[in-house]
């Protein structure tokens, strides 16, 4: 009887360890891996700090006539220079550089696109 209890305990411990390891691997993958990177140019039509529980920086870039093609993006809180540049260039044409992630965390933002650099365009 004690062998069965020991076996059940081992299976339970290894099962919990496997779940924790899988969760840690998934979180590490989301944190470090990116799907693509690139640049876009357009008119910065919206940039705001929003959210109920987690306040995130969200914006939209208009790339078509009368805002018909919108590019939604997020900005990480650890990018204060990018945040300030976007605030100063709202309503103007800008070129942004971004990375696209596979998925996001609630406290990172709504979009999978994260801005890394902003330059005013003429």
pLDDT digits (tens, 9 = 90+) for 80-118: 899 999 999 988 999 999 998 887 777 777 788 999 999
User: How much is the pLDDT for 66?
Assistant: 64
Burial class (CB in 10 A: 0-12, 13-18, 19+), 96: buried
Whole-number Å distance between alpha carbons of 9 and 64: 61
Q: In this structure, are 45 and 96 located in the same domain? A: yes
Domain count, the chain: 2
Q: In this structure, are 87 and 50 located in the same domain? A: yes
Both tokens of residue 4? 């069965």
**Predicted model pTM:** 0.75
User: How much is the pLDDT for 53?
Assistant: 87
Q: In this structure, are 21 and 44 located in the same domain? A: no
Q: In this structure, are 60 and 107 located in the same domain? A: yes
Cα dihedral sign for 3, 9, 13, 14? Answer: positive
Residue 67 has pLDDT above 70, yes or no: no
User: How much is the pLDDT for 4?
Assistant: 67
Of the candidate ranges 13-17, 32-36, 59-63, the one whose mean pLDDT is the lowest: 32-36
User: Domain range for residue 68?
Assistant: 36-120
**Cα three-residue angle 89-95-100, rounded to 5 degrees:** 110
Whole-number Å distance between alpha carbons of 67 and 70: 6
Q: In this structure, are 68 and 95 located in the same domain? A: yes
Q: In this structure, are 13 and 28 located in the same domain? A: yes
Q: In this structure, are 29 and 55 located in the same domain? A: no
Provide the 3-class DSSP secondary structure of residue 103: coil
User: How much is the pLDDT for 2?
Assistant: 57
Q: In this structure, are 23 and 61 located in the same domain? A: no
Cα dihedral sign for 21, 23, 28, 34? Answer: positive
């Amino acid at each position: 009887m004690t062998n069965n209890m020991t076996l059940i305990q081992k299976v339970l411990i290894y099962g919990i360890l496997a779940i924790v390891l899988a969760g840690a691997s998934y979180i590490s993958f989301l944190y470090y891996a990116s799907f693509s990177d690139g640049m876009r140019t357009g008119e910065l039509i919206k940039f705001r700090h929003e959210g109920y529980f987690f306040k995130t920086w969200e914006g939209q870039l208009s790339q078509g006539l009368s805002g018909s093609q919108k590019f939604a993006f997020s900005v990480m809180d650890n990018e204060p220079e990018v945040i300030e540049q976007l605030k100063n260039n709202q309503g103007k044409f800008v070129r942004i550089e971004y990375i696209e992630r596979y998925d996001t965390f609630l406290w990172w933002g709504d979009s999978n696109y994260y801005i890394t650099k902003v330059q005013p365009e003429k």
